[in-house]
Structure 1
Amino acid sequence: MSASTARLGSAARPREAVRARFGDLLAAEWIKLWSLPSTYLLLLVGALVVLGITANSARSNVDLIARAVDVELQRSAIDPMHAAFVPQAFQILVIVAGSVGAATLSGEYGSGLIRTTFVAVPARRAVVAAKLAVVTAVMLVFGALVSATSFGVTQAIYDQQHIGLPFGAPGALRAVAGSALLAPLSALVGMALAAVVRNAAGTVVSVIVTLLLLPELFRGETYRWVKEIGNAMPINAWEALVENPAQPSRFPELYPVTIGEAWMVYGAWSAVAVVVAVLVVHRRDV
């Protein structure tokens, strides 16, 4: 082997040695996520608020049944599924999950740590992919715990009036799964918006506008195209997934979201959010 070949080989080995493995990136992003005190606070407070709202809804309905003149009529008028998935409660879950997802990127941009990260690991796509994987996993567990606990607690309360639903009831597991997946979906959208906006406060506002306020503009049924745009919004798809098939709405919609369409909305928004986060971070200067 010639001297020049030896020099080239010795120069290549250090570069290979410092190349980060994806497992190392996952570990680093895990540490970053949990090193933020806001992560613990947001998840804990968010979970308690969501569960507090749903449990209070069930408790209020149980008291209403107990005070009713016609108990059986009042029981039949209450949908046990609704208390487990009160819209206002899960809108808070959307904000919490979106904020945690946004913080994983906006926090690094705000502190300047993102420059150090990309100097250490120039492969930006790999870094963002690791962030996406960690946040998705954490928020999936968070969403599953909140969703399953909400359903279990509210139905246990309803059992006092013998109207509680088991997990095997029609539509129950679908509602739990749809509510659980709402958390990672919101977190991914938060990350995508953080990659574009970069400012922490601006990203949180963008999350609220995109996921909660924008769908309200497309709830009318006068024009089908308006309603179809609304059907493509995650929160509207979630509402279709948590609807109780045993107690359909008294005011059926003209152009409802089908269950298949709702899952497609979840998948499309998640995929687009991942692509936006990876492409924007890869192409834009830090």
Structure 2
Amino acid sequence: MTPLVKGYITRRRVVRSEWSKLWSLRSSWYTIAASVGSAYVFAGVVGAAVNFGNAEKIQMDPVLVSMAGLNFAQLLIPVMGIMMMTSEYTTGTIRPTFTAVPHRLWVLWGKVAALMLTVLPIFLVVAFTVFPLSQLFLQGSHLEVSFSAPGTKRALIGAGVSLTLLAILGLGLGALLRSTPAAIGQYIVVLTVIPQAMSILPYAWLRTASGYMPMKASESLMSAKPGTDHASPRDALIALSVWAAVSVIAAGVSLTRRDA
């Protein structure tokens, strides 16, 4: 067997490899298509609701309403991150991956980088195009808001950033649990079940803490004026970054200590 040339494996090449693997998964195409499609469809649905005279029933941040379809992306995009890792364990290709790249953390960082380079630009474009589309239908209602309004551009950028961090959180869970159903189940529990339980319990500190859970933190980043039960955009960004970082760090520890 011909030995590997020293320096042949570089971080850049690992990222390129992980990028290729990400786009070779059918689930990645389906997930992105469903997430992007739902964002544009709901831009029309919200507009239709306004046209039927139901705008006054919508008491939410106007920017968040305009991007209502991205609520589905909050559930779907992390699944892409999960399957980016678990698919290799399912098919057994994780062993050849670690044989080709003995530095396991390089593989993990390569997946994180490839995921960021995919999710962030796509959903920045989606946010900045869905918003004006939705606002075409919302003109003349209390939900009308312009690009120049305070917090609007920050919320649109926050939409792309929050979905990227949620995807990285999913990737970390996939690396930890190594099972698609288990990782998706845990993600749903963290995303929806626990925050809902925290918000209904009769403890003010729990309701406050629920604003720092991934879903509500993401909603804060996507809002020009977050609700009273949400964290501020700055605090939400810190909280969501911590969630993503902890999942990746835990995944890194797991990868270096457990067999493939």
> Unaligned regions of 5+ residues in structure 2, if any?
none
SS of residue paired to 2:259 = coil
Q: Is the 8 A contact 1:80 1:158 kept in 2?
A: no
* Aligned with residue 83 of structure 1, among 56, 65, 84: 65
Alignment partners' CA distance in 1, 2:209 and 2:157:
23
Which residue is equivalent to 1:118? 98
Aligned residues, how many?
Answer: 259
- How much has 1:115 moved relative to structure 2? 0.3
* Aligned with residue 209 of structure 1, among 186, 189, 192: 189
Alignment partners' CA distance in 2, 1:92 and 1:259:
20
- How much has 1:162 moved relative to structure 2? 9.2
Q: Which amino acid aligns with 1:271?
A: A
Alignment partners' CA distance in 2, 1:189 and 1:175:
20
Q: Does 1:51 align with 2:51?
A: no
Q: Is the 8 A contact 2:38 2:70 kept in 1?
A: no
What is the identity percentage for the equivalent residue pairs of Structure 1 and Structure 2? 26
Residues 1:94 and 1:163: Cα distance change in structure 2 (over 3 Å): closer
Q: Is the 8 A contact 1:189 1:269 kept in 2?
A: yes
Residues 1:77 and 1:273: Cα distance change in structure 2 (over 3 Å): closer
User: What RMSD in Å do the two structures reach over aligned CA positions?
Assistant: 2.7
SS of residue paired to 1:219 = helix
Alignment partners' CA distance in 1, 2:29 and 2:175:
22
Give a deviation string over 1:3-56, Cα, whole Å, max 9, x none.
xxxxxxxxxx95543641111111111110111112111111221123212321
Alignment partners' CA distance in 1, 2:58 and 2:195:
31
Q: Does 1:280 align with 2:260?
A: no
Q: Does 1:101 align with 2:75?
A: no
Runs of 4+ in 1 over 6 A off after TM superposition: 75-78
SS of residue paired to 1:280 = helix
> Unaligned regions of 5+ residues in structure 1, if any?
1-12, 69-73
Alignment partners' CA distance in 1, 2:167 and 2:222:
20
Q: Does 1:61 align with 2:47?
A: no
Residues 1:45 and 1:258: Cα distance change in structure 2 (over 3 Å): closer
Q: Does 1:233 align with 2:213?
A: yes
Alignment partners' CA distance in 1, 2:65 and 2:8:
51
Give a deviation string over 1:188-220, Cα, whole Å, max 9, x none.
111111112111222222222222222111114
Alignment partners' CA distance in 2, 1:22 and 1:152:
39
The TM-score normalised by the length of structure 2 is 0.88
SS of residue paired to 2:52 = helix
* Aligned with residue 189 of structure 1, among 151, 155, 169: 169
Q: Which amino acid aligns with 1:58?
A: G
Q: Is the 8 A contact 2:35 2:70 kept in 1?
A: no
Residues 1:124 and 1:29: Cα distance change in structure 2 (over 3 Å): same
The TM-score normalised by the length of structure 1 is 0.81
Q: Is the 8 A contact 2:172 2:244 kept in 1?
A: no
Name the larger-Rg structure. 1
